[in-house]
């Protein structure tokens, strides 16, 4: 899929412009009102920002007789690993255009070049928090392992000698507060629960001299519920300072849903992605495709349910271990 984000003053004119630019096979994921134009903050006008993607139906891979057998085999392997059709087409086209005909006869060459391309596609993220305490919010839909990821993050920072506190904003899911409290209690990490921007502001002030890192466990929201996502942003706005936002997604989510989740949560201007449940898949092409085609970075991956371990800073060669048939040649 080809992902896009376009802005314009008139919504209907913007849609027509998008169709002219990307064709008729577009899927709109999110639209929001924004302020556009102006100089130094003056003269801005209300307009629209639209995000979406082009359906893979417009990207039909070509398989003429002239395509080398190695590239056909590669396409099948990439498809088996759940890469999106447009990502597969991009990889095979890059190899076909940049490689000598004789080189493409070697399967070892094709795999090595493909590994290099995929590694280059995986952008990793390093935290840029400058404030103490640094605040990291983990956002995302329900059921992706946000709360477990929060506990794993807390444990990893404890091991570095950091003073850690957890703030839960989930007042809706039954047992949510009890879950994070139970996970944190074994590590002697304090947990507080709030439900309003004012409550957030009060807790940040309270923890300002008592913690080096504050982790916010946010309520899981349906990515299609824009009003609910705005509510998440409002509560985080109560922090009154820069907040590092990490979007938690599950490695077991199909690629089309990953595109939609990332696109909808974009309205919260998140910094990077945490990919959970990586140990539950051997075909992580869905994650790689979605990250590359949306331009998002990967901050962490998580594996297993053990709280005191199983979270790693993202490294491209490590992600490749969750693909089948791409062992180093």
* CATH number of the domain enclosing 214: 3.40.50.300
Helix spans in 160-196 (H):
176-185
Considering the domain architecture, whether residues 42 and 78 belong to the same structural domain is answered as: no
Q: Residue 126 domain-assigned?
A: no
Considering the domain architecture, whether residues 193 and 293 belong to the same structural domain is answered as: yes
Comparing 61-65, 139-143, 274-278, the range with the smallest average pLDDT is 61-65
Asked which of 13, 29, 57 is the last residue of a domain, the reply is 57
Asked which of 13, 38, 57 is the last residue of a domain, the reply is 57
Considering the domain architecture, whether residues 209 and 183 belong to the same structural domain is answered as: yes
Rg of the chain over CA atoms, in angstroms?
22
Residue 276: what pLDDT?
A: 96
Comparing 18-32, 190-204, 211-225, 280-294, the range with the smallest average pLDDT is 18-32
Q: Residue 328 domain-assigned?
A: no
Considering the domain architecture, whether residues 144 and 202 belong to the same structural domain is answered as: yes
Residue 228: what pLDDT?
A: 85
Structure tokens at 258: 């990953």
Spatial contact of 40 and 58, defined as CB atoms under 8 Å apart: no
Residue 59: what pLDDT?
A: 43
Q: Residue 329 domain-assigned?
A: no
Q: Give the list of residues 6+ apart from residue 73 with CB closer than 8 angstroms, or none.
A: 107, 110
Residue 143: what pLDDT?
A: 87
Considering the domain architecture, whether residues 240 and 104 belong to the same structural domain is answered as: no
Considering the domain architecture, whether residues 75 and 42 belong to the same structural domain is answered as: no
Q: Is 131 helix (H, G, I), strand (E, B) or coil?
A: coil
pLDDT exceeding 90 applies to what percent of the chain?
Answer: 44
Task: Name the average pLDDT for the chain.
Answer: 85
Q: Residue 12 domain-assigned?
A: yes
Helix spans in the chain (H):
11-22, 69-80, 85-98, 107-121, 146-159, 176-185, 197-207, 226-237, 255-265, 285-294, 316-319
For residue range 241-251, list pLDDT tens digits in order.
Answer: 889 999 999 99
Region class of 301: left (phi > 0), else alpha (psi between -120 and 50), else beta = beta
Please determine, for residue 177, whether its predicted confidence score (pLDDT) is greater than 60. no
Considering the domain architecture, whether residues 21 and 72 belong to the same structural domain is answered as: no
Considering the domain architecture, whether residues 115 and 168 belong to the same structural domain is answered as: no
Considering the domain architecture, whether residues 32 and 101 belong to the same structural domain is answered as: no
Considering the domain architecture, whether residues 171 and 192 belong to the same structural domain is answered as: yes
Residue 316: what pLDDT?
A: 92
Q: Residue 327 domain-assigned?
A: no
Q: Give the list of residues 6+ apart from residue 171 with CB closer than 8 angstroms, or none.
A: 177, 193, 195, 219
For residues 97 and 79, the model is more confident at 79
Residue 28: what pLDDT?
A: 74
3-state helix, strand, coil in the chain (%, to 5): 45, 20, 35
Comparing 31-40, 65-74, 96-105, the range with the smallest average pLDDT is 31-40
For residue range 46-90, list pLDDT tens digits in order.
Answer: 888 888 778 665 444 444 557 789 999 999 999 999 999 999 999
Please determine, for residue 34, whether its predicted confidence score (pLDDT) is greater than 90. no
Considering the domain architecture, whether residues 183 and 239 belong to the same structural domain is answered as: yes
Q: Residue 128 domain-assigned?
A: no
Domain that holds residue 166: 134-322
Q: Residue 127 domain-assigned?
A: no
Q: Based on the structure, what is the number of domains in the chain?
A: 3
Residue 173: what pLDDT?
A: 53
Asked which of 39, 57, 75 is the last residue of a domain, the reply is 57
Q: Residue 296 domain-assigned?
A: yes
Considering the domain architecture, whether residues 112 and 138 belong to the same structural domain is answered as: no
């Amino acid at each position: 899929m080809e992902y896009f984000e376009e802005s314009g003053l008139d919504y209907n004119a913007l849609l027509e412009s998008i169709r002219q630019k990307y064709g008729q096979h577009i899927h709109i994921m999110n639209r929001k009102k924004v302020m556009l134009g102006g100089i130094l903050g003056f003269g801005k006008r209300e307009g629209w920002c639209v995000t979406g993607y082009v359906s893979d139906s417009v990207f039909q891979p070509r398989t003429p007789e002239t395509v080398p057998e190695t590239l056909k085999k590669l396409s099948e392997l990439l498809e088996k690993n759940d890469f999106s059709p447009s990502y597969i087409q991009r990889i095979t086209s890059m190899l076909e255009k940049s490689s000598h005909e004789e080189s493409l006869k070697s399967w070892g060459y094709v795999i090595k070049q493909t590994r290099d391309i995929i590694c280059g596609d995986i952008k990793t993220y390093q935290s840029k928090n400058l404030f103490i305490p640094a605040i990291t919010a983990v956002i995302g839909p329900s059921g992706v392992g946000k709360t477990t990821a929060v506990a794993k993050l807390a444990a990893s920072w404890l091991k570095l000698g950091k003073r850690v506190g957890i703030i839960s904003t989930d007042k809706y899911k039954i047992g949510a507060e009890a879950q994070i409290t139970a996970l944190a209690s074994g590590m002697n990490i304090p947990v507080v629960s709030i439900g309003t921007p004012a409550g957030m502001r009060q807790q940040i002030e309270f923890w300002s001299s008592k913690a080096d890192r504050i982790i916010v466990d946010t309520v899981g929201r349906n990515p299609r519920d824009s009003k609910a996502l705005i509510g998440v942003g409002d509560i985080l706005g109560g922090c009154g300072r820069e907040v590092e936002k990490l979007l938690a997604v599950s490695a077991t989510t199909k690629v089309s849903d990953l595109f939609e989740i990332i696109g909808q949560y974009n309205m919260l201007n998140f910094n990077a992605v945490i990919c959970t449940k990586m140990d539950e898949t051997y075909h992580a092409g869905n994650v790689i495709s979605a990250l590359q085609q949306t331009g998002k970075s990967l901050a962490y991956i998580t594996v297993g349910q053990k709280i005191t371990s199983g979270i790693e800073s993202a490294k491209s060669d490590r992600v490749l271990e969750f693909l089948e048939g791409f062992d180093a040649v």
